[in-house]
Chain A
Amino acid sequence: MTALDRRPAATAGHLRVTQRRVIRSEWIKFWSLRSTTITLAAAVLIFIGIGLLAASMFASGELDGDGPSNPVDLSLAGMDFAQLVLGTLGVLFMAGEYSTGMIRSSLAAVPGRLGILWGKAVVFAFVVFGLMLVSALIAFLGGQAIIGDGGASLSDLGAVRSVIGSAAYLTGAGLLGLALGALLRSTPAAISTYFAVMFLLSGIAGLLLPQSWQDNVGPYLPESAGAAMSEATRGDNDLTPWGGLLVFLAYLAAVGAGAAWRLKHKDA
């Protein structure tokens, strides 16, 4: 027990909590859960796999007129499903701290509190954006290779934007999950809210709202805004890609602000 014989050190200066150190701590937390690697692998496989599948079905003429017919959108069709997985990962990264009690250790180590949320967001965004960018590129290139003659190339107008936009949207969707996890502090509540917002909202709007409202409100729903960022084809009422990005960022900022306020001001 030699380590105990030491008297407590006299100065604490070099042991200051900094945002950089908190990011490093969150990096360790992120990668030391088995669920992280499994979920990320699932997101990559789904994103690429569904894109390639859609491309090959298109190439063999099995797709009818209902789905996307643009070769860029086809190869990135896995995005809709990957956002499900990444949103869940985002929720788990934050709400998992509450469900396990870990949050009390985290907050005791970082009593400023907000650094934890920013640290998690930075780590999550860095990893997920990088991974999804590579995945989008693979899905795109692979998809176009399968489609063959009718396929697009990266030099086509909007192709690069679609690849980057899909990775950005998936990162944003995951961050939305993370923010919901911080806001609601419960995995089931955050996951169901996330699913409701990302999947049910547009459906409900389509059923309940009159047509004129749908045209005006529909494009501003989170999922439509995300689609505007990434899809090569654009409908009459859709937002521009930058517009979509801004609208999605506004949602993210709103939920993030609520999450930050609750984290900072409410008992853990």
Chain B
Amino acid sequence: MVAGNDYIRKTRSAPQPTIVVGMIEVHELTKRYGDKTAVDGLTFTVRPGIVTGFLGPNGAGKSTTMRIILGLDRPTSGTATVNGRPYAAHSAPLHEVGALLEARAVHTGRSAYHHLLAMAATTGIPTSRVDEVIDIVGLHEVARKRAGGFSLGMGQRLGIACALLGNPKTLILDEPVNGLDPEGILWIRNLMQGLAANGRTVFVSSHLMNEMAVTAEHLIVVGRGRLIADVSVTEFIEQAAQNTVRVRSPQAAALHDLLVGPDVAITSIGRGVFEVSGLSAERIGEVAAGAGLTLYELSPRQPSLEEAFMALTHDAVEYAATAARPLAGAGRAAQ
């Protein structure tokens, strides 16, 4: 878990060298609903020029945090600022921050075109820009139809069109890939990376680690409202879960006894097969050779991203299935 700020060097050429425009700063943020704490002392900074993923299981407080950043919810304590000010203190908010909120935030009886037109009117954005964003998100054909009849994917595109209206420096997107087809997912991924490459701040939430791994460069991982990690994607993948080694041997029991140690976890997979974490494949091979034990298989396994994410957050999952199988390291079993 890296809480440091060495990721700054990974930021591609900073677009505005003087003041960091587009920076989102969340400081000691806490939000309670009655006796339930949705966000618990969260502190992090989101920088421009890269896509920052806001990752966590459902109920981790991602949407609440985003709503607080946008001034929709008031924090119980702590602060959230965009470009050094609370969102509500900006005189041209749509120009500062474009937001896509998780649930549809559109009147179902209004056409996409009129929705955007009404949003644009609040801050004097010309009608031509409305047509422009409709073309960008590919809703031209249905722009005059009622938004209530839109599919989830079309609704997401409309939300993104709204976020782009003011050509903002900062984009806050809550679960933008929800409901999109593979083509749509690729489209939003390219869009977000393009926006970041132009120097914008792109802060995007997701509960899908795999999606974030290909989209984001930096990750802010939360669970139960608390910060779990603030790391680059590469570091996260390296550190989140220990590598395991899969071992298959006809003398599994004997080998197991030789490998057991204080920092070693061994999980039985099946007859004659187990997984070891805390020891390298080389070391296991040496131990086996030293004792004259036969090995049928000795394969290091890189945990999948989703596994790494789950290993990191499994203590913080709000609605865990009761019979969830513990991940590597949790159980020690012998053949």
**A-side interface residues toward B, CB under 8 Å?**
1, 3-9, 12-18, 21-22, 24-26, 28-29, 32-35, 96-97, 100-105, 107-112, 265, 267-268
Contacts and interface: CB of A to CB of B under 8 A. Distances in A.
A116 to B, nearest CB: 9
Contacts of A9: 95, 167
B145 to A, nearest CB: 12
Nearest to A20: B124
Contacts of A22: 122
A108 B99 contact: yes
Contacts, number: 146
Interface string B140-176: 0000000000000000000000101011110000000
B227 interface: no
B106 interface: yes
A104 B91 CA distance: 18
B103 interface: yes
A25 B122 contact: yes
B132 A102 contact: no
Interface of B: 15, 22, 67, 70-74, 87-88, 90-97, 99, 101, 103-111, 114-115, 117-119, 121-125, 132-133, 135-136, 162, 164, 166-169, 191, 194-195, 198-200
B95 A15 contact: yes
A35 B108 CA distance: 12
A111 B73 contact: no
A16 B94 CA distance: 9
Contacts of A29: 107, 110, 114, 118
B15 A21 contact: no
17 contacts: A4-B164, A4-B194, A8-B200, A15-B123, A17-B92, A17-B122, A28-B118, A28-B121, A29-B118, A32-B111, A33-B107, A102-B107, A104-B72, A110-B122, A111-B87, A111-B90, A267-B73
B128 to A, nearest CB: 10
B115 to A, nearest CB: 8
Interface core residue of B104, B115, B122 (most chain A CB under 10 Å): B122
A109 B91 CA distance: 10
Contacts of B122: 17, 21-22, 25, 109-110
- The secondary structure that dominates the A interface is helix
A266 B30 CA distance: 16
A168 B122 CA distance: 28
A26 B121 CA distance: 9
Contacts of B119: 25, 105, 109
A150 B119 CA distance: 54
Given A12-B95, A108-B93, A267-B74, A101 B168 contact: no
B136 A268 contact: no
Given A4-B194, A8-B199, A17-B122, A111 B167 contact: no
Contacts of A101: 101, 103-106
Nearest to B169: A8
Contact of A100 (B106, B111, B194): B106
The 5 closest A-B pairs by CB, nearest first: A32-B114, A111-B88, A25-B121, A12-B92, A15-B92
A50 B110 CA distance: 32
